[in-house]
Amino acid sequence: MVRSASAHLQLLASDIEPALLAPGTKDRVFGQYASDLRDALRKWDVGADCAHQSEALTVVANACEACHRDYR
């Protein structure tokens, strides 16, 4: 369950720029937020104990929020 949630989010995050930016658009800040999200997802260890996963998911949620604050 948790493993597939992580895999699913990584897949989504790998396509976030083409999904949300107009074709041909380059946006450095948007790209940075997307890259921060990918970093946060990579650091989420689905085998870790709850406390560590909770910490990692807070970092993921902050990465979502940071981009939404500027772009949504």
Q: Where along the sequence are the contacts to ligand HEC (CB under 6 A)? A: 9, 16, 20, 30, 33-34, 37, 60, 63-64, 67-68, 71-72
Q: How far is the CB of 38 from ligand HEC (least distance, A)?
A: 9
CA distance 26 to 31: 8
Q: How far is the CB of 34 from ligand HEC (least distance, A)?
A: 4
Q: How far is the CB of 52 from ligand HEC (least distance, A)?
A: 18
Complex with ligand HEC: residue 52 or 62, whichever CB lies closer: 62
Q: Is the dihedral of CA 20, 61, 14, 10 positive or negative?
A: negative
Q: Is the dihedral of CA 31, 33, 37, 42 positive or negative?
A: positive
CA R_g for the chain: 13
